Structure 1
Amino acid sequence: MGFSKAALVEGCREHGYGDTARLLFPHGEFAIVQYHLYKERTRLQTLQTQVDAEEGPSQSRRVRRYCVERLRGNQALVGRLPEAFGLMAVPRNAPTAVEELALLADEIVFLSGDDANSLDWYAKRAGLGAVYAAAEVFMTQDRSAGFANTLRFLDARLGDLTTAGSFVTGAVQWGAFAGHSALNVLRSQIARG
């Protein structure tokens, strides 16, 4: 039934509530989208031991694996994802959808073993969120067996992210070095003065 009012009504009926119980959900069918996003994000936590054992110490392999596992959570309803995207784009729903994407990126990075809170903390998560969202959109058009094209797309974007991440980290480090150097020059000028 997808992410529809009919699905919300049917869900209420299945749990013994009347049709008007759907009024308990002020964002209507977006509540189904929210539930799906939350359920699939938190499911990743249950995979941590397995992922750690199978992917080893490589953080990048674990990030990829969590992204793949999260995409697998969409397989059964891939034909309905455009409905979910449409509901997420509604202005009153967009902040919640963006927050959930940020939580997903944070969860993946954390589960992958990165608990640092350095200057590039936000860049890592924003970049990963953008890569995941792009892969999810790509998935809606993918007709390849086992979503092989989506996985290739994901791998390419994660590669781009690694390259960009190295650039950002280098730029941040260079900026910190340049700032520290400038401060030392100022201190030496003041000391002479």
Structure 2
Amino acid sequence: MSATLTPETEALLDAILPHVAFDGWSSDAFTAAARDAGMSLDHAHAICPRGATDLAILFHRRGDSAMVSALQTADLDGMRFRDKVAYAVRTRLDVITDKEAVRRGMTLFALPHLAPEGSKLIWDTADAIWTALGDRSDDVNWYTKRATLSAVWGSVVLFWLGDNSPATANTTAFIDRRIDNVMQFEKVKSAVAKNPLTKPFAQALGALTAPIKPPSDRPRDVPGKWDLPS
């Protein structure tokens, strides 16, 4: 069973972060976190069966939740949709409370047995962004939008980790370039759907449906594909 964000796991997560910079998301850091949180190691393992790995996952999920909260109160009116997506990606970076914890997390989830979990976390971030922006697609676009944004997010994090520019301004410019790349992909996808030679293939993909149909009360302001620049 995966750990969930509760007052106890939040306390453990806060306690482990100072140790992650030195010991990574390791058993030593987890042991120190339990001690600092005033919790027995047995109880800490009872609420986080995989130890530091569970806390690394919760750290990522807490960042996603903070991003969603920030987007819900942001004034996005008047923005082009591609700018809303770029703003959301930048916001996800801005809510990160510990850059070194992210760096160490990249190392952790690069391990072969944890790589699928790391990929799922990236996908979940992309899904959280689209959902927060009101996405209602329920066909193949549900998958392609999350897949392309997952690729964007992964590359952005790698760039950001090495960015020492003031206020990581270079990262903001990098995000804009990557979003522009996605716009080009959407143009190609649109062309494939209209080309007589590839239209049957596009129609076959169109038969795909999203895993969970979006709630009927979700805002209907997001088209099935990203708005293309004029």
TM-score (norm 1): 0.80
What number of residue pairs does the alignment pair up? 178
Q: Which residue of 2 aligns with 1:90?
A: 111
1:35 aligned onto 2:58: yes
Q: State the SS of the aligned residue for 1:148.
A: helix
Q: Which amino acid aligns with 2:188?
A: F
Q: Which residue of 2 aligns with 1:67?
A: 89
Q: Aligned partners of 1:104, 1:175: CA distance in 2, in Å?
A: 35
**Range with bigger deviation, 57-66 or 125-134:** 57-66
Aligned mate of 1:110, from 131, 138, 144: 131
Superposed CA deviations along residues 27-70 of structure 1, whole A, max 9, x for unmatched, are 3322221011110112222123322x244353222211111111
> Which aligned pairs between 1:15-26 and structure 2 lie closer than 5 A?
15-24=37-46, 25-26=48-49
Q: Which amino acid aligns with 1:112?
A: L
Q: Which residue of 2 aligns with 1:77?
A: 98
Q: Which residue of 2 aligns with 1:148?
A: 169
Q: State the SS of the aligned residue for 1:120.
A: helix
Q: Aligned partners of 2:80, 2:138: CA distance in 1, in Å?
A: 19
Q: Aligned partners of 2:152, 2:39: CA distance in 1, in Å?
A: 40
Aligned mate of 2:68, from 39, 45, 54: 45
Q: State the SS of the aligned residue for 2:179.
A: helix
Q: Aligned partners of 1:178, 1:126: CA distance in 2, in Å?
A: 21
Report the CA distance between 1:22 and its aligned residue: 4.7
Q: Aligned partners of 2:196, 2:52: CA distance in 1, in Å?
A: 46
Kindly tell me: are residues 69 and 141 of structure 1, through their superposed partners in 2, closer, same or farther at Cα, counting changes over 3 Å?
A: same
Aligned mate of 1:123, from 132, 141, 144: 144
- Assess if the C-alpha contact under 8 Å between 2:192 and 2:198 holds in 1: no
Report the CA distance between 1:87 and its aligned residue: 0.8
- Assess if the C-alpha contact under 8 Å between 1:45 and 1:111 holds in 2: yes
- Assess if the C-alpha contact under 8 Å between 1:105 and 1:125 holds in 2: yes
Report the CA distance between 1:144 and its aligned residue: 0.6
Gaps of 5+ in 2: 1-18, 202-230
Report the CA distance between 1:99 and its aligned residue: 1.4
Q: Which protein shows a greater Rg?
A: 1
Q: Aligned partners of 1:46, 1:54: CA distance in 2, in Å?
A: 14
Superposed CA deviations along residues 101-126 of structure 1, whole A, max 9, x for unmatched, are 11111111121222122333211111
TM-score (norm 2): 0.68
- Decide which structure has greater helix share: 1
- Assess if the C-alpha contact under 8 Å between 1:135 and 1:154 holds in 2: yes
